[in-house]
Amino acid sequence: MSASLAAILGLQWAVILGLAAVVLALVRQVGLLHQRIAPAGALMISEGVKVGQMAPEMSMKTFDGEDIVLGRRSPEGLSTLFVFVAPDCPVCANLIPAVTSIARQESSWLRVVFASDGKTSDHATFRREKGLDAFPYVISRELGLAFQVAKLPYGVLLDENGVLVAQGLTNNREHVESLFEARRLKSATLQEFLARGESAPAGEALSS
C-alpha cells in the first residue's frame, strides 16, 4: 500500500469517527430537548381516580412516622398535593426547589407530600440530599397505582375533603401551578378549560 493511499484511508477513518461523534452529540441534545419541551399546562394521563371523585380510602406512614390518610376530610382543612418523584429522575430533581418554594408560599391552604415507590434506603438518601426532611415523604406503590402514575414527576391535587380536583405531569413550576389554576377554574386540566372556549376571570389569586 502506497503512502498516499494509506493517508487517504486514514483521513477517511478520521472523518467517519468525527461524524459518529457529531451524531452521538446530536442524539444527546435531542434527549435533553425531549425532557425540557412540555405543554403549557400539566398533561393528565391517569385512567385511575377521576377528577371529582373521592380518593380511595388508604393509610400510609411517612418517613417520620406521620399518618397520611386518604378518602376523608383533612383534619387541618388543607388541600394536599402529592408530588411523585424518584431518585433516578433528573427532571424530578430540577423540580424540587420550585415545589418546596410553592409549598411555603401556599402553606395557608396547601400541604405538599412527596411520594414514590422502590427501595426505602434510596429514597432516604434522596430525601436528605435534596433537603426534604421538613416535608412528608411516603413510599407507597398502592398510592401510585390508585392514580395510575406512569411518568414522573407527577402531581395529584386533592381538596380539603379528599376529592381529586386536578392531576398531571409536572415537569416545571408552571405545570404545578396549572394544577392550582385548574382547581380554581373547576376544570380537570387547563386544556379542558380552554377547550370549552371560556376565559379565566381576571384578578383572582391562584389559591382562591
pLDDT digits (tens, 9 = 90+) for 26-71: 555 544 444 443 344 454 444 578 989 999 999 999 999 999 999 9
Dihedral in degrees, nearest 10, Cα atoms 128, 131, 134, 137: -60
> Which cell goes with 99?
415545589
What pLDDT does residue 16 have? 72
How, if at all, do strands 79-84 and 110-116 pair? parallel
How, if at all, do strands 67-70 and 79-84 pair? unpaired
Q: What is the pLDDT of residues 98-132, one digit of tens each?
A: 999 999 999 999 999 999 999 999 999 999 999 99
pLDDT at 182 over 90: no
| pLDDT band, very low/low/confident/very high, at 183 (cuts 50, 70, 90) | confident
Task: Provide the terminal-to-terminal Cα distance of the chain, rounded to the nearest Å.
Answer: 81
Angle, to 10 degrees, between the axis of helix 90-105 and the axis of helix 173-184?
A: 50
Alpha-carbon gap, residue 8 to 85, rounded angstroms: 53
> Which cell goes with 74?
383533612
pLDDT at 24 over 80: no
Domain 58-195 falls under CATH 3.40.30.10: yes
